[in-house]
Amino acid sequence: MRRTSHLPINLIKMALLTLALTGCNRNDDFSQVPPHILPIDSFAQIMTDFAIAESATNMNIGNQPVFRLDTAYAFNPVQEHGISRARLDSSMAFYARHPERYEKVYQIVLDNLNALKKIEK
């Protein structure tokens, strides 16, 4: 009795099944953002505001004592943009799972910060 190996055939079937399942669902069209996720432009604006707030805090531009930093820089981008922390967290998780979109967000953030820098001069 001769035993034949089905490993190559099973391996090929498994690879084809994996390709079919992942290939059909992979649509990274930038318009396919779920409704509860912030759009790229809105998310980028909030991230720009966070960058500005963090920078102001780190620079201590108001020469505040360390114990007063939390009240001196009370700017809250989440509250300012009228969104919930949960929506921001969901958006951050979504964009983290889609690096090409996250890259686009941070390109907009850099563009926003560079534009503000030009206005300052």
Average pLDDT taken over every residue of the chain: 75
Give CA–CA dist 72/66, Å, rounded: 10
pLDDT digit string (tens) for 21-44?
555 444 555 558 899 999 999 999
Residue 97's pLDDT is: 94
Query: Angle 73-83-115 (CA atoms, 0-180°, nearest 5)?
Result: 60
Query: Angle 49-50-52 (CA atoms, 0-180°, nearest 5)?
Result: 65
pLDDT digit string (tens) for 35-82?
999 999 999 999 998 888 777 767 655 565 555 545 445 567 888 889
Nearest to 33 by CA among 103, 119, 86, 101: 101
